[in-house]
């Protein structure tokens, strides 16, 4: 597990590939919207698609605002409340 992005608004954690775990076969990502304390988990084939989209975005050398706008597209999927233990 690695934090691959962290701004005032969002953080993204990347989980490595685990071939014996269907949810992590392609790796996975957890996106957290800090302002509303919600998150979503992207696993399986969707993780591969997300990775490609992120690689294309990074190739354009985006600003933090542009990255946050990209991550904002996932806000509607963020149904899981974030809680600290």
Per-residue pLDDT tens digits for 16-60: 877 777 667 778 999 999 999 999 999 888 998 999 999 999 999
pLDDT for res 84: 55
The boundaries of the domain holding residue 44 are 2-80
pLDDT for res 18: 75
**Among residues of the chain, what percentage have pLDDT more than 90?**
66
Please give the angle made by the CA atoms of 33, 38 and 42, to the nearest 5 degrees.
85
Domain count, the chain: 1
Kindly report the average pLDDT of the chain as a whole number.
89
Residue 20 lies in a domain: yes
Residue 15 lies in a domain: yes
Taking residues 6-19, what's their average pLDDT? 90
pLDDT for res 40: 94
Residue 85 lies in a domain: no
* Residue 79 tokens, joined: 């149904």
pTM (two decimals)? 0.84
pLDDT for res 85: 39
Residue 37 lies in a domain: yes
Residue 46 lies in a domain: yes
């Amino acid at each position: 597990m690695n934090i691959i992005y962290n701004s005032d608004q969002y953080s993204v954690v990347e989980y490595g590939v685990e071939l014996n775990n269907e949810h992590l076969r392609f790796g996975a990502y957890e996106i957290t919207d800090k302002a509303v304390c919600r998150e979503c988990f992207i696993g399986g084939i969707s993780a591969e698609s997300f990775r490609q989209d992120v690689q294309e975005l990074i190739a354009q050398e985006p600003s933090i605002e542009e990255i946050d706008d990209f991550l904002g597209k996932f806000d509607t999927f963020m149904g899981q409340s974030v809680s600290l233990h």
